[in-house]
Amino acid sequence: TGPCDIYASGGTPCVAAHSTTRALYSSYGGALYQVTRGSDGAKTDIKPLSAGGVANAAAQDSFCSSTTCVISIIYDQSGQGNHLTQAPPGGAASGPEANGYDYLASAIGAPVTLNSQKAYGVFIPPKTGYRNNSPRGNGYWRCARGLDVTNYNDGCCFDYGNAEPSNLDTGNGHMEAIFFGDRTAHGYGAGSGPWILADLENGLYTSGGDDGYGRNPNNPSINYRFVTAVLKGNSGNQWTIRGGNSVSGTLSTYYSGVRPTPNYNPMSKEGAIVLGIGGDNSNAGRGTFYEGVMTTGYPSDTTENAVQANIVAAKYAPSALQSGPEITVGSTVSFRATTLPCCTTKYITHVGANVQLQVASSSSTVSLRRSASWIVHVGLGNSGCLSFESVDSPGSFIRHSSNKLLVNVNDGSKLFAQEATFCSHEALSSAGTNTLRSWSFPARYWRHYRGTLYVASNGGPNAFDTKMTFNDDVSFVVASGFQ
Ligand code: AHR
């Protein structure tokens, strides 16, 4: 049985069912998502291993081998055709891609296992989002989803749910989407977050009436690795937030009552679907999505409790973020470039805060050799990846900022930790050993371009994202440091 079979038997069938990890109906064997690869722009659909089963991650790995891949479509399994595709520009923000579209998510940013079978979620950094502005299947939609609490922020707005087909903020009550993060601009919960909140447009809420912008002490900070979040609103003045641990236990109700004032009742949902962005394409949020649905009607708590049991039985677990040759924590390493003919004697070094290639060897000056040597640490932002401290500047690490690699003092902030964490994979070119990607922007890889190091995407909007020599420029030979 899948979650949408349970909703159907509860009389509130799914009208949108999105997941890159598994089929949400026991009979569903069709496409879950589409990936597009960087090398040649080819696309392929990833299906479950069998009807009702877990996604065929091996098919993705083989299609994307020696190149990069992004998730270009998240298909609707409900039969309504409510697929999610690259989000267009909106009233609040344009994205960085052509015609103001947002980025698409990397296909490898959120590896997990379900009952020990590998699958990939959708790791969504800022400026990344999906949308459907031609919704089919009416209803008072409600949504549930799996979340990854290692990836969140206080930006607006990592949402999944109901929004405006115009990409514009059309006023209070014109959205009903789950938000996840630690934003405190509007209503918020107990502790320091992150929280499951409701984006009802022009505000994130966790209570109603005149108190909508207040703190709701019954809405807890969430520290589960995988989270089930439920938001439902009826045709009257009633809405509910529920949440729980996707790996064990049951759902709790964090709010159930009237809508906020003013003008949230009657609600005016318009039916578009957003993922990773706000209703007006506010695209500063970050989060991870595994599965989510919207249903007709107002599902009963009993139905939702059965769905939660189904999610628990799916046994979500984290999976290795890295692959290929290991870069050992505690060792001191160097990174030699491999691009011909320019760069095969050049190493990643820093000159002040700037990270750039310089020719180096064992006979270089001591200061150059130290500048080209890096101490490997457990990732500051995620222990499944790595951080690199400069040998000649203790306490300073390689981090990305505005897509450039810099060597900066670790200021202890969450943002620095995220920006200083990189995951290693087998090199995309056989001339190298390793390729490193940003943990916090998984579609971006360490890449030298005209001698300067960037986090670059394969064919993105910046000059340093060019596809030309991408595989060579992101492939390094990792060896012992020069010390
Ligand atoms: O409600 C919060 C945000 O406000 C919405 O997502 C967006 O449309 C508006 O800017």
Question: Tell me: the pLDDT tens digits for 306-320?
Answer: 999 999 999 999 999
Ligand 1 centroid to Cα of residue 344, in Å, is 49
Span 104-133, mean pLDDT?
A: 97
Ligand 1 centroid to Cα of residue 171, in Å, is 9
Ligand 1 centroid to Cα of residue 401, in Å, is 26
Question: Tell me: the pLDDT tens digits for 145-166?
Answer: 555 556 899 999 999 999 999 9
Tell me which residue of 37, 105, 152 sits closest to 442, measured CA to CA: 105
Ligand 1 centroid to Cα of residue 177, in Å, is 10
Q: Is the pLDDT of residue 478 over 50?
A: yes
Helix (H) or strand (E) holding 332: strand 332-337
| Ligand 1 atom at minimum distance from 203 CA | 1
Ligand 1 centroid to Cα of residue 283, in Å, is 10
Amino acid at 134: S
Q: How far apart are alpha carbons 103 and 375 in whole angstroms? A: 32
Ligand 1 centroid to Cα of residue 279, in Å, is 5
Q: How far apart are alpha carbons 21 and 44 in whole angstroms? A: 16
Active site residue 392: no
pLDDT for position 143: 52
Q: How far apart are alpha carbons 187 and 200 in whole angstroms? A: 11
pLDDT for position 293: 93
Amino acid at 459: G
pLDDT for position 147: 52
Q: Which two tokens stand for residue 343?
A: 């760069």
How many angstroms separate the Cα of 87 from the Cα of each of 91, 177, 212, 338, 381? 12, 16, 29, 36, 27
Q: Does 280 contact ligand 1 (Cβ within 6 A)?
A: yes
Ligand 1 centroid to Cα of residue 260, in Å, is 15
Q: Which of 102, 133, 154, 157 has most ligand 1 atoms within 8 Å of its beta carbon, as the pocket-test mutant?
A: 157
How many Cβ atoms from other residues are within 10 Å of residue 311's Cβ?
24
Q: What is the β-pairing status of strands 215-216 and 188-189?
A: parallel
- The residues, any chain, with a CB within 8 Å of residue 185's CB and separated by 6 or more, are 154, 156, 204
Q: Which of 159, 176, 204, 282 has most ligand 1 atoms within 8 Å of its beta carbon, as the pocket-test mutant?
A: 282
Active site residue 5: no
pLDDT for position 214: 80
Handedness of CA 112, 31, 145, 2 (dihedral sign): negative
Ligand 1 centroid to Cα of residue 186, in Å, is 11
Residue closest via CA to ligand 1's atom 8 equals 279
Q: Is the pLDDT of residue 140 over 50?
A: no
Q: Does 472 contact ligand 1 (Cβ within 6 A)?
A: no
Q: Does 2 contact ligand 1 (Cβ within 6 A)?
A: no
Q: Which two tokens stand for residue 38?
A: 């960087």
Q: Which of 154, 166, 199 has most ligand 1 atoms within 8 Å of its beta carbon, as the pocket-test mutant?
A: 199
What are the residues facing 62 on neighbouring strands?
Answer: none
pLDDT for position 357: 98
Amino acid at 71: I
- ipTM beyond 0.85? yes
| Ligand 1 atom at minimum distance from 92 CA | 10
Question: Tell me: the pLDDT tens digits for 85-95?
Answer: 999 999 999 99
Q: Does 199 contact ligand 1 (Cβ within 6 A)?
A: yes
Model confidence, pTM:
0.97
Q: Does 423 contact ligand 1 (Cβ within 6 A)?
A: no
Cis peptide before 260 (omega within 30 of 0): no
Q: Does 157 contact ligand 1 (Cβ within 6 A)?
A: yes
| Ligand 1 atom at minimum distance from 168 CA | 8
Tell me, what DSSP letter sits at residue 315? -
Q: Is the pLDDT of residue 399 over 50?
A: yes
Q: CA Rg, the chain, in Å?
A: 23
Q: How far apart are alpha carbons 205 and 219 in whole angstroms? A: 11
Question: Tell me: the pLDDT tens digits for 359-393?
Answer: 999 999 999 999 999 999 999 999 999 999 999 99
Residue 118 CA to its chain's centroid (Å): 17
Q: How far apart are alpha carbons 244 and 227 in whole angstroms? A: 6
Ligand 1 centroid to Cα of residue 26, in Å, is 35
Q: Is the pLDDT of residue 302 over 50?
A: yes
Q: How far apart are alpha carbons 286 and 318 in whole angstroms? A: 18
Q: Which of 162, 186, 201, 204 has most ligand 1 atoms within 8 Å of its beta carbon, as the pocket-test mutant?
A: 201
Three-state helix/strand/coil letters over 11-55: CCCEEEEEECCECCCCCCCCCCEEEEECCCCCEEEECECCCCCEE
Q: Which two tokens stand for residue 94?
A: 């344009």
Q: Does 283 contact ligand 1 (Cβ within 6 A)?
A: no
| Ligand 1 atom at minimum distance from 157 CA | 6
| Ligand 1 atom at minimum distance from 202 CA | 1
5, 169, 201, 291: the catalytic one is 201
